[in-house]
Amino acid sequence: MCLKRADLNRRIGGRTARWVLLTLLFCGIGIATATKLEASPGPTATSIPKDAAVFDLKEISTFDAPDAVRTRFLFGAYAVCEAEPGANAGRDPAFQSDRPLYGSFHVGAASTEPNAGCHYRFAIDESAGPGQGYDRMYLDMNLNKDLTDDGFCRPMRDVPDKALAQVGTGVTQVCFEPIKLQIAPGDDPSPGLEVMPRLLVYANDRQYMTLMTTKARVGEIQIGGDRFTVVLGHGGGIPGWFDHPETGLYLFAANRANDRPVSSWYGGDRLMAMHRSGDAYYRLAATPSGDKLFVWPYRGPFGVLEIKAGERSVQRASVSGSLSSKDAAISLTDSLAGQSASPSSSFRLPAGDYGPLLLNVTYDTLNCLMLRNRHADGLPGGRSQEGPPIYPIQIREDKPYVLDFSGKPQVVFASPGRNHRLKPGDQLEVKAVLTDPSLDIMFRSIRKGEQLDPKVVIKRANGEIVAEGVMPFG
C-alpha cells in the first residue's frame, strides 16, 4: 500500500470564490481538462507522405521519463469517486466496507467525444472492513457492467518513489497493481495497454481515482535543420494508443531533456501540434505502438488571420495565443527557435478551419484572456455534451479572416441549470461563465491596468436583492 504524503502542487477543480451561499465561477479550469484539445483522428498511415522522415523511439518506464515532464504522466485519466453507483450500474460484489466508492474511467476517445471510446466502471472496497483503508479495486475489464467476474486489483508492493504523485498533507495515496486494458472498442483485448490505477483520498472526504499508463517512448528526431529529444506518452487522459492526436508529445533541445520543453505553448504538448521552424510548419505522427515517429513539412496553402477593432474607438489591436482544428493545433507566435514573437495584428497560417484554444487579445490598454468554452447550461465542464466544438476561424488563401469580436457576449450558468429547483433551506451554488458563443470561447480574465471583475446581484422574483458584490473571474 502506498501511503506516502507530500505537498499537492496541482489542484483538482477550478479556482472558485465563495461569498455568502454563492459560488461564482467565471471560466474555471479543472485539473484533467486544463490542457485538453478537441480533435478528430489525425494523420493516418495513408496520409503520411512517403518522403516523411522516420525516427525510431524506444520504450521506457513512465516513472523514468525526464523530470521536466514525468509529473504530467502521473495522473492520466481521472474520475471522481461517488458514494453511490451510477444510474446504469450493473452487478456489484459483496463489499466489506459500508462506504464503497464508485466511478467510471473514460479512455480511448477525446474529451469532446463522451459517447466514444470505453467507459470502465469501477468500485473500491475496504477488504479489512469499514475504516481500515481502501485496498481493493474492482474494474469492469470486460465491459459487461458486472464487477463480479473480473477479479480485483491489490495495492502495489514496494512502490517506486518516482511513481508517487505529489499530493498534499492529509492525503492518502494508494497505488494499485498495473493491469492491461482494451483502449478502444474493437481492439484486440489480448495485448492491451498497461495502466496503473491510483486512489487519492483527501481529508475533506473527496476521493479521486487516476489511471496512468506505465510506458512512454523517447528518441532523437530532426525538425527542419535542428535536432530534438522527444518524449511521447499519455500526459492528460488516455485518448487512445500512441498514434492518437491528443497523445502527449514533448520536445526538448537535443540531449537536454531535463530542461523546459521548447514547445510549451498551450496545445504544443500534443502529437497534433504543428511546429514552426523558420517560415515552414511541420507535422508529426506516430505508429499505434509509438515505436516510430514521422515528421514532414506542411506543403498546403496558407492564409492570413487579422485582428481589427471593428467599430470600437481603438488605436492598436493585437493578439497572441493558439488555435486548433479537428486534427491540429498551432501557435500564433511560438517557434522551435525557443523565442516567442510579439503579439501582432496579422499572422500567416496554414489554411484550415480553426477554433481558439487560448487567445490573449489587447485593445490599447484593455487585455482579455480567452479559452475554448468547456461549460454548458447546468453542466460544469459539460460543453461536449451539447455538441462538438465549432471551428469558426476559416483561414483561406484568397481572403484574410478578420477577428473583430463582434459577437454578442452571453452568460452561461454551469450551475444551476435552467430546470434546477430548490427546497426551503437548500444551499444554492452558482457557477457563471462569460462566453462568446460565435467563437465558442469563455473569458478567463479582463484587465485594464487592473483586473476588471464583474459585479453580481442576486434578486428574488419580486425584485428584492438577496445579495450583491464583486466576484472575480475563476
Domain count, the chain: 1
Return d(Cα 81, Cα 130) in angstroms, integer: 17
Q: Is residue 89 part of a domain?
A: no
Q: Do β-strands 401-403 and 302-307 pair in parallel, antiparallel, or remain unpaired?
A: parallel
Bridge partners, 135 (sequence order): none
Q: What does the pLDDT read at residue 205?
A: 81
Grid coordinates belonging to 249: 508529445
Q: Is residue 367 part of a domain?
A: yes
- What domain range includes position 400? 19-31+301-474
**Cβ of 184: how many Cβ atoms within 10 Å?**
16
The Cα angle at residue 304 between residues 345 and 409, in degrees rounded to 5: 60
Grid coordinates belonging to 256: 537536454
Return d(Cα 334, Cα 336) in angstroms, integer: 7
Q: Is residue 99 part of a domain?
A: no
pLDDT, one tens digit for every residue, the chain (474 residues): 333 323 223 222 333 333 333 333 443 333 222 222 233 345 655 589 999 999 999 999 999 998 888 888 888 898 999 999 887 788 999 999 999 999 999 999 887 888 888 999 999 999 999 989 999 999 999 889 999 998 999 999 989 888 888 877 788 899 999 999 988 777 666 678 999 999 999 887 889 999 999 999 999 999 998 999 999 999 888 999 999 999 999 999 887 767 788 888 999 999 999 999 988 999 999 999 999 999 999 999 999 999 998 888 888 999 999 999 988 999 999 999 876 788 899 999 999 999 999 999 999 999 999 999 988 888 888 887 777 889 999 999 989 999 998 888 888 888 888 888 888 888 877 888 889 999 999 999 999 988 888 888 888 889 999 888 887 775
C-beta pairs of 133-141 under 8 Å, 24+ apart in sequence = 133/1, 133/172, 133/174, 134/97, 134/101, 134/174, 134/199, 134/201, 134/207, 135/1, 135/174, 137/176, 137/197, 137/199, 138/92, 138/93, 139/179, 139/197, 140/90, 141/179, 141/181, 141/182
**Cβ of 412: how many Cβ atoms within 10 Å?**
18
Cis peptide bond upstream of 388, omega within 30: no
DSSP secondary structure code for residue 224 in this structure: T
Half-sphere exposure of 393 (CA within 13 A, CB side): 28
DSSP secondary structure code for residue 383 in this structure: G
For residue range 318-335, what is the model confidence (pLDDT) as tens digits? Answer: 999 999 998 899 999 999
Q: What does the pLDDT read at residue 128?
A: 93
Amino acid at 113: E
Grid coordinates belonging to 273: 501540434
Based on its alpha-carbon atoms, the radius of gyration of the chain, rounded to whole angstroms, reads 23
Q: What does the pLDDT read at residue 250?
A: 94
- Tell me if 143 sits within 8 A of 120, measured CB to CB: yes
The Cα angle at residue 114 between residues 237 and 407, in degrees rounded to 5: 100
- Tell me if 136 sits within 8 A of 152, measured CB to CB: yes
- Tell me if 101 sits within 8 A of 134, measured CB to CB: yes
DSSP secondary structure code for residue 341 in this structure: P
Q: Is residue 440 part of a domain?
A: yes
DSSP secondary structure code for residue 195 in this structure: E
Instruction: Pick the closest to residue 183 from 339, 340, 76, 44 (CA basis).
Output: 76
Q: Is residue 332 part of a domain?
A: yes
Q: Is residue 259 part of a domain?
A: no
426 Cβ neighbours under 8 A, 6+ residues apart: none
Cell 480485483, residue located: 152
How buried is residue 59: exposed, middle or buried, by Cβ count under 10 Å (0-12/13-18/19+)?
A: exposed
For residue 328, CA distances in Å to 162, 263, 264, 427 come to 32, 14, 16, 43
- Tell me if 323 sits within 8 A of 330, measured CB to CB: yes
Q: Is residue 461 part of a domain?
A: yes
Return d(Cα 316, Cα 313) in angstroms, integer: 10
DSSP secondary structure code for residue 453 in this structure: P
